[in-house]
A and B are shown apart, each in its own frame.
Chain A
Amino acid sequence: MKFLVCISNVPDTTTKITFTPDNKEFNKAGVQFVINPWDEYALTRAIELKEAQGAGTVTVLNVGEADTEPNIRKALAIGADDAIRVNAHPKDAFFVAQQIASIAKDGGYDVILMGKESIDYNGFQVHGMVGELLGIPTVAPAMKLDMSGNTATLEREIEGGKEIVEVNTPFVASCQQPMCEPRIPNMRGIMTARTKPLKVVEPTADAARTEVAAFALPPQKQGVKLIPAESAGELIKLLRNEAKVI
């Protein structure tokens, strides 16, 4: 079985967010980039399923410029077999989805996995767009994925519960916890990752449909009003009479 796992390169989860002076771009200066945490679930689950089947490949795909390669190598160190980088700035979800679909169309992949959303743009869109561009089902967000032959059984989160969905390959799933325990690379993985193939391809010419006009930070909080623990009940009165939320 051939797995394609899409990963995005995002600011480390502890990053303090700032922007360039014109507020048009995220300020990357001094920021550590990581594999999008949701994508780690997709990657690890693909590797687990490949191992369980004892055959197949896991290909990692990233749409990004050369500075994303350390994280692509990290994905290879975790256990992917090879990687493709589409050499482009990921303009918007539509742009990224087109690149993924164009790679997937010719690659003969059975299962396309990715994270539920990226923690920077929070779009939660790429999976659906890829599914629709390829004309195959999407299951999003998936909390569990098992394969038996060409049939996958997935648990899909719904508000207040979950659904059990069965689909045949090929399909797209966007992953979230508790799908698996994301793996961290070991020494052997890091050594072998250096020699695994990483192919760089140029993007298809397709355009984006959205553009960020400006980023902004949320307004500062007014400051906390502290209530002494002895008179904790006073808080409830404040929530009713002052904040008017209960």
Chain B
Amino acid sequence: MSVLVVVECDGGEVKKSSLEVASYGSQVAQMLGTTATAVAVGEATEANLAKLGEQGITKVLHDAEPRLKDFVNGAYTKLIAAAAQKEDAKIIVLANSNIGASVGSRLSIRLQASIATNVVELPKTDGGSFTVKRGAFSGKAFADVKLDGDRKIIAVKKNSIEALHEAGKTAQVEAFSAQLSDADFADAPKQVVMQDQAGGILLPEADLVVSGGRGMKGPENWNLIEDLAKALGAATACSKPVSDVDWRPHHEHVGQTGITVSPNLYIACGISGAIQHLAGVNSSKVIVVINKDPEAPFFKAADYGIVGDVFDVLPKLTQAVKELN
């Protein structure tokens, strides 16, 4: 019996969200008196996989099949299921990402496991029951969910668990083959198109986010958002109406019907703070709101606020960041 952690890799590196997932998994293993093994998906270097020891992982299973570089639901599901079987894993932990949730739901059927996605805390195991806390109602509430059965799958929301760093510890990397056949790659992507990201920072992975709403007046003013984001090393985002009218691409739209983000810092510029927008950002650690209307609902959800004109305030903030660095 062990805990299996699914780590997603990209360009040879383990994704930050997967370092959190690994930390979550090894802490669960410790609670249950067992060890945590990781299985790697995506493109990974052995050196980076070995470093998962710093997150408490003892062993990493690595299938070097080159076609696993891109997400293929069929192949990933088979690979992880095979790893779970090999390790006799009763608990499988993955990221609450598009990949994690897609594979997790298929795995739950294949392994006859109960599953919770969007999980924000370590489990509670009082009195024989196994309960996890997850976000519900689009970030407007939490639910404590009891997971039944012998096997459990947990998808951990980004930024809800602090990644461990026990410097110098290494995990043993072991070659692993899930004996994948061509049929397992039937849903392989024909083409992968990466989008331009401000400063190369992916919004779902970002720790800092600068976001603009209709108050920015038009796409020609977005340099103000981008300048501040660049100075901070932040990703950029927007409200729904902004992407609806194509001022910004759809993958930047956050909210109930867009991306959910939970960065350490979310700076909202000229966004009113409608309940559907808040739903996608209200689990951010610190929220800053800049709005010229003191009655804007966003101020109620904010930690810091500036009542003022974005065109006047944003350049001052960018300047202040540059002076600080």
Contacts and interface: CB of A to CB of B under 8 A. Distances in A.
A235 B285 CA distance: 16
29 contacts: A13-B275, A26-B137, A94-B115, A97-B109, A119-B279, A125-B117, A129-B106, A129-B108, A139-B187, A140-B102, A165-B187, A165-B190, A209-B148, A209-B149, A210-B115, A212-B144, A212-B145, A216-B141, A216-B144, A217-B140, A224-B299, A224-B305, A225-B303, A225-B304, A229-B312, A236-B321, A238-B304, A245-B285, A246-B265
Interface string A65-92: 0000000000000000000000000000
A240 interface: yes
Interface residues of B, number: 98
Contacts of A170: none
B251 interface: yes
A124 interface: yes
Interface stretch (A1-9, A48-56, A154-162): A154-162
Interface stretch (A130-138, A183-191, A195-203): A130-138
Interface string B190-213: 111111010000111100100000
Identify whether the interface residues of B are mostly helix, strand, loop, or mixed: mixed
A148 interface: no
B192 A177 contact: no
Those 9 A-B pairs whose CB atoms lie nearest each other, nearest first: A128-B105, A229-B308, A233-B320, A163-B189, A209-B114, A132-B109, A161-B194, A236-B320, A125-B105
Nearest to A135: B109
A119 B260 CA distance: 12
Interface size class of A (residues with CB under 8 A): 35 or more
A17 B141 contact: yes
A224 B306 CA distance: 10
A123 interface: yes
Given A163-B190, A217-B140, 17 more contacts: A26-B137, A38-B257, A122-B118, A125-B115, A128-B105, A128-B106, A132-B77, A139-B73, A157-B98, A158-B98, A159-B97, A162-B192, A165-B188, A210-B148, A213-B131, A227-B306, A234-B320
